Amino acid sequence: MSLLFDQNIFFRIISKIKFNFPEAKQVKQLGIENYSDVEIRKYKN
């Protein structure tokens, strides 16, 4: 399962769940932090 977290989610949370969800990313990691919510919703990595 792939998870995409808002830029306001603390990056350490992602590091704690990486074991169970290795595909988890934060929008800032993907460089899409300035996208609108609609664009982020449509985003496919």
Q: Which two tokens stand for residue 5?
A: 């977290």
Per-residue pLDDT tens over the stretch 3-22? 888 887 777 888 888 899 89
Q: Determine the pLDDT at residue 35.
A: 92
Q: Which two tokens stand for residue 7?
A: 């830029």
Q: Which domain, by its residues, includes 8?
A: 4-42
More confident call, 33 vs 10: 33
- Dihedral sign of CA atoms 18, 41, 8, 26 in order: positive
Task: Give me the number of domains the chain comprises.
Answer: 1
Confirm whether pTM is higher than 0.85: no
